Amino acid sequence: MKKKINRLMLSIAILGVLLISTFLTTVFYGLFQSQVKTDIQTDVELLQETGIFDDPSSPGMPIQVRDVRITWVDVDGTVLYDNEADARSMENHMDRPEIQEAFRDGSGWNARESGTLNRSTFYYALKLSNGTVLRASKTAWNFYGHLLGMLPAACVVLAVIVIASVLLARALTKSLVQPIEKMAETLGSPDPVPAYPELAPFANRLRAQHDDILRSAKMRQDFTANVSHELKTPLTAICGYAELMENGMTGPGDTERMACQIRKSADRLLSLINDIIRLSQLDSYEEDLPFVSLNLGETAEEAASSLMVSARSHKVSLSVRAEKDVMIIGREEMISELVINLTDNAIRYNRPGGYVHVNVLKKDGKACLVVDDNGIGIPKEQHDRIFERFYRVDKSRSRETGGTGLGLAIVKHIVMLHNASITVDSAPGIGTSFTVEF
Ligand code: ADP
């Protein structure tokens, strides 16, 4: 940052000095030129007043003027007199622009390059009353001369500006960076103070990220604690029964009962582990895996029919009604899992003689899956919580029916991966309806 500011300031300084030098030279040169012009004009007018140049037939009166060259030109362009050269050896002056102008308009002005690059000669010619032209000329600094003259001063100014801008850049960087460094120190806190109002979005973003990290750390912690707890219960039961059998503390018929309990607990462990693995698979699911176009009705029908046996054993009637060609973009095994989890819940949290309807339809152009039952229902205040991992309304019933408390968490995950939405409508004793909109 320091380097960048330094470079920027130096460029501005150099450009500034160059522009100002050129500008000032232009202005001063303009003033200087008009001053030279006025000077030689005055010289010519004064000489005219002296009467020396009244009679062209008697030229040659020497005049002493410093720095000014005087040339007297006759009506045909021949030089009558020149104070710096022999007039007779001089060429005809009719071709000089200022002399032509003077013959034509009464007076003429011109500036020409002198022998050296940084000097010019300025001419003023005046037509006298006798028809001849009197010209004065002076050699002085031209534009480049002035510019070169300005160069040492410009270099000094530039050096001063360079030193000043290096010092200023250092101070500026320090004052700019200090608040950012302070902000960096508070970044670890949940409420980082933005160094500048312009950095507020950045600070907010960091704050949001910080909150997210905390939230997901807390979730992971809760999840680990819950998993350990959930795994512990069936394992404790298995150990307990095994110990009883080991010590021969079983009466007639007990062995079978205990073996059955051990098997049930082992089944529970297996389904828990399966669900946990499934959730972690969904967590690390890569978004760019291919989604395909699939028939929601057919997928739902197939999935629900795998639960017919379970429905019969719960004495619940299970029916599927699907509109034709309700297509979605998705992953078949996930959609199938979603239907199975919802339908399985509807069967398990039901009562003998109850029903479960799986419906696939199109609503407002959107593909919908509705799983309806007239089972035990869910109290309104728990509707939001049932999607949390390991949350159960009725723990013992869930456990008895082989629930893990993860089924709806998996459903919610799949819904999110499909950019869909899920809503629940339920009342205790009346029934439950889950609607997934794609
Ligand atoms: P579980 O494995 O315990 O069924 P879920 O995550 O699938 O866990 O469901 C969470 C809780 O939501 C269940 O324990 C149950 O109390 C309630 N629930 C889910 N579906 C239904 C339903 N169709 N009817 C009544 N209660 C339900």
Structure pTM? 0.61
How many angstroms does the Cα of residue 348 sit away from the middle of ligand 1? Answer: 8
Bridge partners (DSSP) of residue 330 are 292
Coil vs helix vs strand at 424: strand
Residue 60, sorted as left (phi over 0), alpha (psi -120 to 50) or beta, turns out to be left
DSSP for 260-322 reads HHHHHHHHHHHHHHHHHHHHHHHHT--TTSPPEEEEHHHHHHHHHHTTHHHHHHTT-EEEEEE
d(CA 297, CA 312): 22
Q: What is the pLDDT of residue 288?
A: 62
Specify the ligand 1 atom closest to the Cα of 403. 2
Q: Give the three-class secondary structure for 327.
A: strand
Query: CA torsion sign, 173 to 175 to 181 to 187?
Result: negative
Residue 362's SS3 state is: strand
- Identify the pLDDT of residue 162: 86
C-alpha span between 392 and 427 (Å, rounded):
16
Report residue 80 as tokens.
């009558």
**Mode of pairing for the β-strands spanning 355-363 and 317-322:** parallel
Nearest residue CA, atom 4 of ligand 1?
403
Residue 424 CB–ligand 1 contact under 6 Å: no
Residues 6 or more apart whose CB falls under 8 angstroms from that of 206 comprise 187, 192
In angstroms, rounded to a whole number, what is the distance separating the alpha carbons of residues 231 and 224?
A: 11
How close is the Cα of 344 to the center of ligand 1, in Å?
Answer: 9
Q: Is the CB of 407 under 6 A from ligand 1?
A: yes
Structure-token match 């809503």, residue found: 423
- Contacts with 180 (C-beta within 8 Å, 6 or more apart), sequence order: 195, 199
Helices and strands (DSSP H and E) totals, the chain: 10, 12
* CA 87/CA 91 separation, integer angstroms: 9
Query: Which ligand 1 atom minimizes the distance to the CA of 373?
Result: 23
Which residue puts its alpha carbon closest to atom 3 of ligand 1? 405
CB 40 within 8 A of CB 136: yes
Q: How far apart are the first and last CA of the chain?
A: 50
Distance 355 CA to ligand 1 centre (A): 16
Cβ–ligand 1 distance for 137 under 6 Å, the answer: no
Nearest to 40 by CA among 147, 120, 143: 120
What pLDDT is attached to residue 88?
A: 86
Is-contact 328 368, C-beta < 8 A? Answer: no
Residue found by looking up tokens 């608040």 in the block: 179
Atom 18 (ligand 1) nearest CA: 345
Residue 408 in contact with ligand 1 by CB distance below 6 A = yes
Domain extents for the chain?
2-146, 188-284, 292-437
Q: Cα–Cα distances in Å, from 50 out to 75, 133, 173?
A: 20, 15, 71
Out of 400, 408, 424, give the residue to mutate to test ligand 1, the one with the largest number of ligand atoms within 8 Å of its CB.
408
Q: Which residue has the CA at smallest separation from atom 8 of ligand 1?
A: 405
Contact 397, 343 (CB under 8 A): no
Assigned superfamily of 292-437: Histidine kinase-like ATPase, C-terminal domain (3.30.565.10)
Residue 307 near ligand 1, beta carbon < 6 Å: no
CATH architecture for the domain at 2-146: 2-Layer Sandwich (3.30)
CA dist list (Å): 397 to 54, 176, 351, 425? 136, 64, 12, 20
Q: Does residue 394 contact residue 366 with C-beta atoms inside 8 Å?
A: no
* CB contact at 8 A, 57 and 132: no
Q: Measuring from atom 19 of ligand 1, which residue has the nearest CA? A: 345
Tell me the CA–centroid distance for residue 393 and ligand 1, in Å: 7
Q: Considering only the top CATH level, what class is 188-284? A: mainly alpha
User: What are the angstrom distances between the C-alpha of 27 and each of 33, 146, 147?
Assistant: 10, 11, 11
Backbone torsions φ then ψ of 72, nearest 5 degrees: -115, 125
Q: Which residues contact 247 (CB under 8 A, 6 or more apart)?
A: none
Low-confidence stretches of the chain (pLDDT < 50) are none
What does the alpha-carbon distance between residue 148 and residue 78 come to, in Å, rounded to a whole number? 38
